[in-house]
Amino acid sequence: MPNIELHPKHELSTFRRIAIGTWTTVGDPSVYGSMDIEMDAAMDYIARYRKATGKRLTVSHLVAKAIAGALERMPDANAIMRWNRPHRRKTIGVFFQVAMPGEEGQETDLSGATLYDVEKKSVDQLVDEFAEKVNMVRERKDPALEKTRSTFKIIPLLIINKVLKLIGFFSYTLNLDLRWAGIPSDPFGSIMVTNVGSLGLDTAYVPLVPYSHVPMLLALGAVKKTPVVDDDGQIVVRQMMGIHATFDHRIIDGFHAAVMSKVLREYFANPDEKFGAIPESKVEPAVEAEPAEVSEAGDAEEAVEPPKADEGGDTKPEPAVEAQPEPEPEPAAKADAALSSGD
């Protein structure tokens, strides 16, 4: 069983052949590009989704869904280099970088969670699956990941570079399934996404990771209110976000990037159409109280139990119950902190 299902691309353009011959590793064919996305409609979609479902949809979820749509539109970009030739992937996977709190006395670690077939799943499914995988990673309950982390802790630093290259060669060039050795199957997917905006950064470019064979990485900046010129030439305030890409020029060029950026803009300009309708609110409606019976005089009457009769047939009134003082009202609970508008 192969590590990834692939099929080779035989028809290569002249430029693609020159690019393959020019660059021999993913350490030097890096190309960088940025685009600014108007986020007003998307942020409104996120707010309405959170209110309706109580789930924490974020900008990262929407970007994952949109970039999967872009890769579906431009399948040549969903590829890896193997035997010095691009090979298209048959599935789309999106890798999210996840920060893991360090164990006692250790620094914070970085890991990741990968969602597959993102283009086929609803936003609701992505939110649930991502939350489950991130919790497993942070709580160190992912057996495959923990096995890998344990393995790398014992590899001497002097040879770790060669070990990573060797793993990349066996996993991707030879396309072998190495789960028996503690190496997860296709752990990085088609593209990597990291939200640097959650760290307070507006711009960052992430380096390509040679042994991952991932040809494109996206860094998402913070969503900020920015003055822009609208179609009527007026200066208006819009919520904007920068998306900063690093890609492997042996696989992706300007034409691919242009098509993919157009798809991203389409998604964020029309979130209800592209990301799907928001699920109906799951909050149970309040149950209305039954109306009390009303007398002819119009006053609400309460049912009163008749007094009990004694042995002689006379009725005895029930002893009066001494009124109890009402308890002091509890202090109002503090309101939950408002959810942030993005990651």
pLDDT value at residue 311: 43
- For the cut 60, the answer to whether the pLDDT of residue 257 exceeds it is yes
**Choice between 58 and 109, residue whose per-residue pLDDT is larger:** 58
CATH class of 38-274: alpha beta
pLDDT in tens, 132-186: 998 888 888 888 777 777 777 788 888 888 888 898 999 999 999 988 887 888 9
Average pLDDT over residues 16-21: 66
What is the predicted pLDDT for the residue at 24?
Answer: 61
Predicted confidence (pLDDT) at residue 205 exceeds the cutoff of 90: yes
Question: How many other C-beta atoms are found inside a 10 Å radius of the C-beta of residue 208?
Answer: 21
Average pLDDT, the chain: 81
Q: CA 163 to CA 211: how far, in whole Å?
A: 10
Task: Identify the H or E element spanning 274.
Answer: helix 271-274
DSSP 87-146: EEESS-EEEEEEEEPPPTTS--EEEEEEEESGGGS-HHHHHHHHHHHHHHHHTT--HHHH
b/e per residue, 159-190, with b = 16+ CB within 10 A? eeeeebeebbebbbeebbbeeeebbbebbbbb
Section 206-219 average pLDDT: 92
Per-residue model confidence (pLDDT) at position 284: 53
